[in-house]
């Protein structure tokens, strides 16, 4: 770590246009994804807490909206993870290109 600190010009790497562009895309994805999953997740306790009658409506047999919405959170999380992993592996390649000349 010590020799890395001396030999790598971090400012130059950070200022590279392709690195800035990568950071921009990453930030944009992470912010959008975070807003989406927080909104989707918090909708559950808010609706369950403040609109219990709506959530108690039955859909299949005894299974109600509340349970289905809760169950959908699991799938939302898995899909989100799947999408993130796909996008992130593209970022990995771009990041590797940014530091290719110092490695």
Partner 1 sequence: MFTGFVALTLLITFWAAKRNTGASAYFAAGRNITGWQNGLAVAGDYMSAASFLGISGMICFSGYDGFMYSVGFLVAYITVLLIVAEPLRNAGKYTMADLLAYRLSPRPVRAMASLSTLTVSTFYMIAQMVGAGVIIERLIGLSFAPAVIGVGVLMLVYVVFGGMLATTWVQIIKALLLMAGAILLSYLVLQYHHFSLAGFFDAVSKADYAGTAEPKNLLEPGLKFGVAVAGKWGPLDLVSLGLGLVLGTAGLPHILVRFYTVPDAKTARSSVVWAMAIIGIFYIMTTFFGFGAATILKKALILTETGAPNPNMVAPILAQELGGELFFAFISAVAFATILAVVAGLTMSASASFAHDFYSNVLHHGKENRPGAEVKVARITAFIVGAVSIGIAIYLGPAVNAAFLVGLAFAVAASANLPVIIFSVFWKRFNTTGAVAGLVTGLVSAIVLILLSPNGLFGKAGAPFPLENPGIVSIPLGFLAAYLGTILTPRDLEAEAKFSELTVRAHTGLGAEKATHH
Contact partners, residue 54, CB within 8 Å, separation at least 6: 47, 65
| 67 touching partner 1, by CB under 8 A | yes
Q: How far apart are CA 94 and CA 77, in angstroms?
A: 26
| 99 touching partner 1, by CB under 8 A | yes
Concatenated DSSP letters for 14-35? HH-HHHHHHHHHHHHHHHHHHH
Of residues 48, 41, 42, the one with CA closest to residue 80: 41
Q: Which is nearer to partner 1, 17 or 62 (CB)?
A: 62
* Interface characters, 21-40, with partner 1 (x: CB under 8 A): -xx--xx--x--xx--xx--
Contact 83, 76 (CB under 8 A): no
| 103 touching partner 1, by CB under 8 A | yes
Query: Applying CB under 8 A, which residues contact partner 1?
Result: 1, 4-5, 8, 10-11, 13-15, 19, 22-23, 26-27, 30, 33-34, 37-38, 41-42, 44-46, 48-50, 52, 55-56, 60-64, 66-67, 70-71, 73-74, 76-78, 80-82, 84-85, 88-89, 91-92, 95-96, 98-99, 102-103
């Amino acid at each position: 770590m010590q020799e890395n600190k001396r030999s790598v010009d971090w400012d130059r790497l950070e200022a590279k246009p392709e690195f800035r562009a990568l950071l921009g895309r990453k930030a944009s994805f992470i912010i959008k994804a975070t807003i989406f999953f927080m909104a989707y997740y918090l909708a559950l306790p808010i609706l369950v807490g403040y609109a219990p009658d709506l959530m108690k409506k039955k859909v299949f047999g005894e299974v109600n909206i509340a349970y289905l919405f809760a169950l959908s959170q699991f799938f939302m999380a898995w899909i989100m993870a799947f999408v993130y992993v796909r996008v992130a592996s593209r970022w990995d390649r771009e990041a590797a290109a940014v530091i290719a000349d110092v490695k």
